[in-house]
Amino acid sequence: MHAPGLHHRRFYIFMTTIVVGAILVLMVINDDGQFDILTSASVGIDSLEDVVQFDEDTGTYLVKDNEITLRIETSTIPVTDGGKVAVQTLTINSRDINNKIRINNEVLEVQNLEEITLALEGFVGDVSFDDFILTLSGEVNRASVNGVGISTAGRLAISFDRLSYDSLNVEGIRLPTATLYATDGKLIIPDKLDYGLAGDDVHLTDFLGNFNIGSGEESFVVLDGQVKGVSVAGGLIMEVK
């Protein structure tokens, strides 16, 4: 039997942690059966209860809504498993004018330009992101280069391999999975959670939304959208019930 004073001391420490710090500590069980603590997460306790509930059977935090709305601000480009995706709009700014961009099996002539802005609408096909390099093969409803539309009957077949780019804007894309490795920055659930990332691996499940990527002296990556699940450094933070 434990002494009453010991219980009181533990309760005091627990309450002091909540009141003084207002810090959420998310805990997951590691392979050794011990608790890992994921730090850098701060949230109002009342707000958290509106978003998640702890599942004692699985040791995870389950999201009460059907989707998690989030924003990630970082300099790490997401890595996908590849495969077929659908994208509403995709805009690429590139100076890789020697790369062969094929539209309806014809090479797009852009060698006389210093840079191009390639805008695609209604893309369906395969996409692979690799740092500031993009590989793509599929069909689009419309395509334009530097604001000049490419006219053809029906959908356009388009492909290019390892096109380097300076900026990329993607709207309305669904990715079954996406991972950001060794990520610094922020993972934000609007009005609910602000999670600091410090060299963490971030894994997203069933992402639907937008992302912007820009290079230069201060490269940036911003993802906005909804996901079914989020994990950081192998420790599950949230998943939809």
Full 3-state SS string of 155-168:
CEEEEEEEEECCEE
* Contact by Cβ (8 Å): 135, 125: no
* Contact by Cβ (8 Å): 159, 137: yes
41 in any annotated domain: no
195 in any annotated domain: no
**Lookup result for tokens 């389950």:** 62
Please give the residue range of the domain that contains residue 94.
82-172
Q: ∠ CA 192-193-197 to the nearest 5 degrees?
A: 165
Number of domains in the chain: 1
182 in any annotated domain: no
Tens digit of pLDDT at every position of the chain (241 positions): 545 554 444 434 433 333 333 333 333 333 443 333 333 343 333 344 454 555 555 454 455 456 788 999 998 888 877 678 899 999 999 999 889 999 998 898 887 889 999 999 999 999 988 788 999 999 999 999 999 988 777 899 999 999 999 999 999 998 888 899 988 999 998 887 788 888 888 989 889 999 999 876 667 899 999 998 888 875 555 555 4
